[in-house]
Amino acid sequence: MIKVLNMFILTFILIGIVSCDLGTSKSLTASALKDPIKIAVSGTPLSAPFFIAQQQGYFRANGLNVELVRFDSGVKCFDALKNKQVDLATASETVVMFNSFKQTNFSVLASFVESDNDLKLLSLTPQKYQQLDNLAHARIGIVKSSASEFFFDSLLIMYNKTQQPIERVYLPAEQLIPALLNNEVDIISAWEPLSYLLTQQVPSNTNVISSRGLYHLSFNLIELKETRLSTTEKLALLKSINDATDYIHTHPDLAQTKISRVLDIDQSQLSYSWNDYTFRLSLSNALFSNIQTQSQWAIDNKLVSEENSVDFRQILDRKLFEKFTNLEAGW
């Protein structure tokens, strides 16, 4: 009862503030319908809260007209934001980290999904490389300067294999599985759904190592600091996403069915990794630490220049998120 009352108070406050900004609640609706808020999202289950918010009408219920613009990667989502094709974008913390060395004119508003089992090391002969043994001269398929490479390097450090002479074969993500099947590489460092897609072609086990918990992925909502969106609209957006994550938790089977239809993927593919995802709004110190760790890795491997490093606290919009959590708590 208290939670329902608090959510009612938050909705009332948001609508009231917007009404003050625009004159009346009627003008709010008219304005929202004229200028849709464009959000670049990846066409994967990671974007489930946005698709659910759209399907269930949460955006519109919170006074927003939102257009979801799909891209096939977080990198392309961020590029669309950078080029001002959209108002907001979604991308992993690795994309955030690399772009922070190029520009600091963006802010992370919140994380909305996390996973500790999204990246995997895969091979057609996994038993040969258990515990990362026999890596000498192995050909490793990797997506350069990405979570794929960071994950693999983290494993090398963890298993004390950094001195092994290996051959890195840099490939786009969509070429990793064909390269493995065509014997052009021995191992690939890949994210979902590539592991699932490989199981559809190779029935036997392909996991080189149990990697759960070794890498923590997050997907984040990002804006340019110079934005046409008001604070009220951004708070309403966070509320909509929060409503969607609540729906995912209370109706997991229905949520999966909806996402399966939206993305036009088999239910089996979605179920394969669905339980690895934790959908929730956050902006925690864990994200900050993860970005810091990845940035040091990028510097050490000369993927970025240390001269361009920044204080990552500058790109995390804690004030907005704290305001949202305070409103949600009914303070």
- Region of poorest pLDDT, from 28-32, 102-106, 158-162: 28-32
Quote the distance between the C-alpha of residue 300 and its chain's center.
24
Residue 170 within any structural domain of the chain:
yes
Q: Which residue has the higher pLDDT, 228 or 8?
A: 228
- Give the pLDDT confidence score for residue 9 in this predicted structure: 46
Greatest C-alpha distance within the chain: 69
Same domain, 14 and 81: yes
Partners of 221 in beta bridges: 90, 110
- Give the pLDDT confidence score for residue 236 in this predicted structure: 97
Task: Check if the beta carbon of residue 201 is closer than 8 Å to that of residue 5.
Answer: no
Return the percent helix, strand and coil in the chain, to nearest 5: 50, 20, 30
Same domain, 221 and 108: yes
Q: Which of 199, 225, 254 is the last residue of a domain?
A: 199
Same domain, 6 and 108: yes
Same domain, 72 and 127: no
Place of tokens 């998120």: 321
- Give the pLDDT confidence score for residue 153 in this predicted structure: 92
Question: Cα(43)–Cα(47) distance, rounded to whole angstroms?
Answer: 7
Characterise 137 by phi-psi region: left (phi > 0), alpha (psi -120 to 50), beta (else).
left
Please confirm whether the linkage preceding 36 is cis (ω < 30° from 0): no
- Give the pLDDT confidence score for residue 14 in this predicted structure: 52
Same domain, 227 and 308: yes
What are the structure tokens assigned to 131, written together? 């515990």
Same domain, 267 and 322: yes
Partners of 188 in beta bridges: 122, 141
Per-residue pLDDT for 48 more than 60?
A: yes
Residue 149 within any structural domain of the chain:
yes
Same domain, 236 and 104: yes
Residue 141 within any structural domain of the chain:
yes
Same domain, 112 and 238: yes
pLDDT bin (cut points 50, 70, 90) of residue 203 is: confident
Task: Provide the 8-state DSSP code for 207.
Answer: B
Question: Cα(109)–Cα(190) distance, rounded to whole angstroms?
Answer: 27
- For residues 234-238, average pLDDT: 97
Partners of 191 in beta bridges: 119
- Give the pLDDT confidence score for residue 20 in this predicted structure: 45
Partners of 190 in beta bridges: 120
Residue 124 within any structural domain of the chain:
yes
Per-residue pLDDT of 253-273, as tens digits, reads 999 999 999 999 988 889 988
Same domain, 148 and 290: no
Q: Which of 173, 199, 225 is the last residue of a domain?
A: 199
- Give the pLDDT confidence score for residue 313 in this predicted structure: 85
Same domain, 131 and 175: yes
pLDDT bin (cut points 50, 70, 90) of residue 91 is: very high
Task: From 233, 238, 242, select the one nearest 63 (Cα to Cα).
Answer: 233
Residue 204 within any structural domain of the chain:
no
Same domain, 180 and 161: yes
Per-residue pLDDT for 64 more than 70?
A: yes
Look over the chain and give the mean of its residue pLDDT values, rounded to a whole number.
Answer: 88
Task: From 2, 63, 51, 93, select the one nearest 239 (Cα to Cα).
Answer: 63
pLDDT bin (cut points 50, 70, 90) of residue 131 is: confident
Residue 276 within any structural domain of the chain:
yes
- Give the pLDDT confidence score for residue 34 in this predicted structure: 55
- Give the pLDDT confidence score for residue 211 in this predicted structure: 77
Residue 211 within any structural domain of the chain:
no
- For residues 81-106, average pLDDT: 94
What are the structure tokens assigned to 43, written together? 């066409």
Question: Cα(304)–Cα(231) distance, rounded to whole angstroms?
Answer: 33
Q: Is 117 helix (H, G, I), strand (E, B) or coil?
A: coil
Same domain, 109 and 131: no
The CATH number for 134's domain is: 3.40.190.10
**Residue 27, number of CB atoms within 10 A of its CB:** 13
- Give the pLDDT confidence score for residue 289 in this predicted structure: 92
Question: Cα(86)–Cα(71) distance, rounded to whole angstroms?
Answer: 12
Helix axes 147-158, 285-300, angle to 10 degrees: 80
Indicate the helix (H) or strand (E) that contains 50.
helix 48-55
- Give the pLDDT confidence score for residue 17 in this predicted structure: 46
The domain of 290 spans: 2-116+217-328
Q: Which of 199, 225, 253 is the last residue of a domain?
A: 199
- Give the pLDDT confidence score for residue 101 in this predicted structure: 93
- For residues 263-284, average pLDDT: 91
Question: Cα(327)–Cα(309) distance, rounded to whole angstroms?
Answer: 34
- For residues 193-203, average pLDDT: 89
pLDDT bin (cut points 50, 70, 90) of residue 126 is: very high
Residue 208 within any structural domain of the chain:
no
- For residues 268-287, average pLDDT: 91
The percentage of residues in the chain with a pLDDT greater than 70, rounded to a whole number, is 89
E runs forming strands in 15-128: 37-42, 66-71, 88-92, 106-115, 119-122
- Give the pLDDT confidence score for residue 26 in this predicted structure: 43
What's the domain count of the chain?
A: 2
Per-residue pLDDT for 22 more than 50?
A: no
E runs forming strands in 257-317: 277-282
Per-residue pLDDT for 13 more than 70?
A: no
- Give the pLDDT confidence score for residue 310 in this predicted structure: 84
- For residues 159-177, average pLDDT: 93
